[in-house]
Amino acid sequence: MMRLPENLEQQLWQDIQALEGAQTMRYITSVERIGRRIGWEEGQLAGKQEGKQEGEVALLAMLLSQRFGPLSEDTRAHLEQADAAQLERWAKRLLDAASLAEVFDEH
């Protein structure tokens, strides 16, 4: 009977163990499965909300720059830090504001 050289035999056994380890499936409890599903759903919802907010910021920035000219980096940062309610207020003010300052005026 032929034998593999020692180093190749060790490598063969390591490869076999790695392959068997990769093919074993870890048991996931019902609680873990539910937790993963809830986490996934929450992540999906958060991603959608974040994407919607980014779209609102981009649209408002485009409209503001169309009406009042190029926006400064400070103005863009101000838009990006705003919450949804602020963005909505600013968007409504955009229609009647005579200046960029009037859009952002909170008084």
pLDDT recorded at residue 80: 93
DSSP code at position 3: -
pLDDT digits (tens, 9 = 90+) for 21-64: 666 666 778 888 888 889 999 999 888 888 889 999 999 999 99
How far apart, in whole angstroms, are the C-alpha atoms of residue 98 and residue 105? Answer: 12
Do the Cβ atoms of 4 and 12 come closer than 8 Å? yes
| Burial of 103: CB neighbours in 10 Å, binned 0-12, 13-18, 19+ | buried
Length of the chain: 107
4/83: higher pLDDT: 83
pLDDT digits (tens, 9 = 90+) for 72-101: 999 999 999 999 999 999 999 999 999 999
pLDDT at 7 over 90: no
